[in-house]
Structure 1
Amino acid sequence: MTSPSLAKLPDDLSQPLDQTALRSVDRAIGDLRRGDPVVVEDLQGDLALALSVEAVTPDALAALKLMAGSSPVLAVTRPRAAAIGLGEHQSPVVTLALGGGFNADTIHELVDPTRRAPQRSVSTLTIEPAELETREGAAVALAKLARLLPSAVVAPIRLPRGVTADGFVAKHDLMLVRARDILDYQVHAARTLTLVGDASVPLANAENTRVLAFRPPDGGVEHLAIVIGEPSGQDGPVLVRMHSECFTGDLLGSLRCDCGDQLRGAIAEISRQGSGVVLYLAQEGRGIGLVNKLRAYQLQDDGFDTVEANEMLGFDADERIYLPAAEMLRQLGFSRVRLLTNNPDKLRQLARCGIEVVDRVAHIFPSNGHNEGYLRTKAERSGHMF
């Protein structure tokens, strides 16, 4: 199965970088996480106020409507629209007009399946499709980047006579961010990673180990390269494991997944073979963040599998991209790898990012009594090769 995340990378990865755009998106992410609205500008220059659904209260809704001078809509992803009974849509985002008595509580019921509240009928809602380049689509993409529930309340801004966009933003002390910059953010952040730390860190199964930290210039989250032994791109393909961080599995030893086993197993196997690299990627929960992963666990306890739980929350089955991994490999001097993985999507994505995958090395560990369903879903729904 091809992950929808493949479509997130543009065909041309050589597009020019805009450091100001990176900073504006990063600041907008911070505002959204703090519960503040941000101004989103689409490709035509039209503006809208966007507010995370997690910050929605009756007062916040009233303030948003008053400030924008228009009625807001609720923007949800295609998977969430299907989950609440709005049918299948081709567009990545669906908007719902917030009329007919739909208030803050109703909005939370519509977007958060963990509330376990009775779902109200959506049959009377006015529904419109939206593409990612629209204000509504970009607002949802920004919520994803902020690791919030992937929905947003969006109100088109009707500028008063004589007021410019810059004047409106300054008057209300808001952050303005362009839709195109939001959609390009992950690619630009990955392509501008800079090495900011490098230290020897002896490990239990690999004493000759260095840990290198790479940070994007906007100050975003760091990715790590765990370099074991003395790998050299001159000696042939390097043994590599791409591992997305998993706080519950890697640190706490959770039995719900196989992440801790895969991380420690990769370190031990690379050490046994002499040298290689573990790329520790800041993409918790297949890219949805720790809090959303805990929400997904709640849904799994209700009987949904790991793919269904992500989609119930409004995410794709896998939200990760692997351009940061490819960029770190390039900076380390490696262009050809032997990849420790069971996931065919990783093979495709690394190749698309310009890294030659010479061989796939199986990376399988026994189930533990708690994760059989999880592993079965990875095989049956995501095509993992066990």
Structure 2
Amino acid sequence: MAQIATIQRAIDDIRIGRMVILVDDEDRENEGDLVIAADKVTPEAVAFMVEHGRGLICLAMDNELMDRIGVSPMASANQAPLSTAFTESIDAIDCTGSGVSPADRARTIMRAVDPEASPDQFQVPGHVFPLRARRGGVIVRSGQTEGSVDLARLAGLAPAGVICEVMAADGSMSRLNALLEFGEAHDIPVVTVADLIEYRLHSETLVELQAKSRLPTEWGTFELNLFRCSLDDGLHVALTMGDLQADQPALVRVQRANLLGDAFGLSGSLGRPHLAYTMQKVASEGSGAIVYLSADENEDRIVGQLEHYLSNRTANQSNRSVDSGSEKVEFKDFGVGAQILRALGLGKLRVLTNSPKRMRAVSGFGLEIVDWLPLEAP
């Protein structure tokens, strides 16, 4: 049976207009998408996706390209399980038919990635479904939307990809073994999002150490490491203790900051007690690392937390955890945290968390989780 191809092979194929199959993590959708650079799309490529892919054909684009064509989000409140950022569907105004034919869809896609594209060249709704990729690509969100844009960008093309899920003849989603067979039958390489993450992490540096200092605490003296992230210029703190070695399992916690819970002790928030427990645990073992990630605190987020807290009090549920905060580590957060852990020289992790499945595609970060340890509040 065919094997997983290298990311470099995928980049080379994307550059010359060939398709690849991009597979996400088994803990996510566990699906594979046909991917071709939007720059290189043809009616024949669209027809192949229709006949053999059988899924929904979408156009993934970065923010700059998406803003150029001026389409709005499909929904004002995105309730998709994986926050897939669909916009209004589009057709190019110069389509020769209804817009659904492979030729018309290819025309629409090519118009959308044209450097001179403008909103007046499209009509909505249409038959091409744009997807807005998150800034930062697969490091931020481990999906085919971001993966296809990353592959096109790495190939030196416009940061946009055409994607289509691969489905079996019976309508079920094709999994890895079936995707490998499909790729072998059609001479299409199969690559994974995890490998793409690893490729980017090996070739790009997202975090940079800004400062170091000793930090005396009630649990002992930690070393405070301050990192800046190039994705959003956010500042993140890593507290370390002891001699940390890549080949020795280290006690690790990745936690996102929560202003109301951590600083002001909002009732029901576990951020502060979880942080205290982790510091105590690391100190008791004599070594470990705590990555404390800054959060995107803004008016809407803070007000939303307060409203959620008050609604739970009204429902007489104030004794329950209303905002775990510390457990709401998104993929971007873990991706940045993973680079920080690597910058600290770690390799094998004993992770303190109550939500182990939220850490997706961990292998792509060059880290190995050897144990999961539950969090307890002191």
Query: Which one has the bigger strand percentage?
Result: 2
TM-score under structure 1 length normalisation:
0.46
Query: Which one has the bigger helix percentage?
Result: 1
